[in-house]
Amino acid sequence: MILVTGGAGYIGSHCAMALIEKGYDVIVFDNLSTGHLKTLETLKNIARSNNFNFLKGDLLNTENLNKAFSSGNIEAVIHFAAFSQVGESVKDPAKYYRNNICGTLNLLDAMRKYNVDKIVFSSTAATYGEPVRIPIDETHPQNPINPYGFSKLAIEKIMDDFDRAYNIKSVRLRYFNVAGADSKSRLGEWHEPETHLIPNILKSTFANSKTFQMFGTDYDTKDGTCVRDYINIEDLVQAHLLSLEYLKKGGKTDFFNLGTKTGNTVKEVFTLCEKVTAKDISVETKPRREGDPAQLVADNTKAKQILGWRPEKTLEDSIKSAFQWEKKLQAQINS
């Protein structure tokens, strides 16, 4: 059985779905602070047999964790549960350090207690901070510039120590910009409030919605807007399945960038959204958003070599699936 923390959230739910479809027994542990019950209903409907369970619980509550670990034979953990908004982490660092770091420490302690020795962890490109070279490989210095990035880096360090001292093996996946939705539109990105680029552009195409705001057009990039590396959610999920297999085969603790090695500017993404939606999307130009580096592009060679991972989907694929999902979400909101 695989324990998926944060399995009611965007990335966690897509991963739980892929695990269920592969025939793994899955238990989702989520406090529903940002995840959705409706997402869990979808997962339950997808699980053909009895291979999906949900436990409402909080990582800060050790009793909840005991319940999760004692409920079955947990073979490995895939850990998504975390707060993930950079801006919010600057305003309220205590929330991020307590939830992300203390919560993970409790999870790792529970793993020790119940002799579970494999964990796949969602880390982030935000652990690198302001890039000193592009593309960013895994040896790039890690100097996060916000509490969110620091909380994830602290966990990476804790995981190294837990390997040395207690032999808990981890794979840390450093995500760049995750985009898109399940290609059958069963699940998708559903944040409240939404802060990410692609869903915000797409949302602005619906009636009574806010005009899309483009933050910063004076960066030192080819068209003045920020460059990001957009990795499709389904490709990203595949890397988690490969990481799990890697650990099951006795792989050592390691960390990998998950990106495409291709950068796209905000303006390029916007233009592609206009093409996919066949709409002229109105846009308001705003000053730079605090804490946004000009460019973040991953060198993904290591994940290709060691995990045998290959991202296959294009940015256009991600925008198409995100748009399909967004239409479904809007219909749900308006019903």
Catalytic residues: 148
- Residue 286: beta bridge partners? 215
- Residue 3: beta bridge partners? 27, 77
- Amino acid letter at 173? L
CB of 141 to ligand UFG, least distance (A): 15
CB of 218 to ligand UFG, least distance (A): 12
Regarding 268 and contact with ligand UFG (CB under 6 A), the answer is no
SS (H, E, C) 21-34: HCCCCEEEEECCCC
Stretch 6-25 residues interacting with ligand UFG (CB under 6 A) = none
CB of 125 to ligand UFG, least distance (A): 4
Quick one: tokens of 302? 């290591």
**Is-contact 258 300, C-beta < 8 A?**
yes
Stretch 82-101 residues interacting with ligand UFG (CB under 6 A) = 84, 86
Nearer to ligand UFG, 274 or 292 (CB): 292
- Residue 169: beta bridge partners? 118
CB of 292 to ligand UFG, least distance (A): 5
Nearer to ligand UFG, 36 or 289 (CB): 289
CB of 199 to ligand UFG, least distance (A): 8
Quick one: which of 20, 47, 154, 197 contacts ligand UFG (CB under 6 A)?
A: 197
Binding region for ligand UFG (CB under 6 A) out of 50-58, 72-80, 189-197, 271-279: 189-197
CB of 111 to ligand UFG, least distance (A): 25
Residue closest to ligand UFG (Cβ): 226
**Is-contact 124 85, C-beta < 8 A?**
no
Cα–Cα distance list, 251 to 118, 176, 304 (Å): 10, 23, 15
Binding region for ligand UFG (CB under 6 A) out of 27-35, 50-58, 74-82, 118-126: 118-126
Stretch 229-258 residues interacting with ligand UFG (CB under 6 A) = none
**Is-contact 184 308, C-beta < 8 A?**
no
Strands (E), 180-253: 212-215, 227-228, 230-232
Quick one: tokens of 74? 């947990």
- Taking residue 130's Cβ as centre, other Cβ atoms within 10 Å add up to 13
Angle 246-20-251 from CA coordinates, rounded to 5°: 5
Binding region for ligand UFG (CB under 6 A) out of 40-48, 113-121, 209-217, 326-334: 209-217
Regarding 196 and contact with ligand UFG (CB under 6 A), the answer is yes
Regarding 260 and contact with ligand UFG (CB under 6 A), the answer is no
Nearer to ligand UFG, 62 or 314 (CB): 314
Quick one: which of 26, 27, 59, 214 contacts ligand UFG (CB under 6 A)?
A: 214
Report the C-alpha gap between 198 and 194 in whole angstroms: 10
Q: How many CA atoms lie within 13 A of 236 on its CB side?
A: 32
In sequence order, the 6+-apart residues with CB closer than 8 A to the CB of 52 are 16, 20, 25, 26, 27, 28, 43, 44, 46
- Residue 254: beta bridge partners? 171
Regarding 116 and contact with ligand UFG (CB under 6 A), the answer is no
Regarding 289 and contact with ligand UFG (CB under 6 A), the answer is yes
List residues near ligand UFG by CB under 6 A. 84, 86, 124-126, 148, 177, 195-197, 200, 213-216, 226, 228, 266, 289, 292, 296
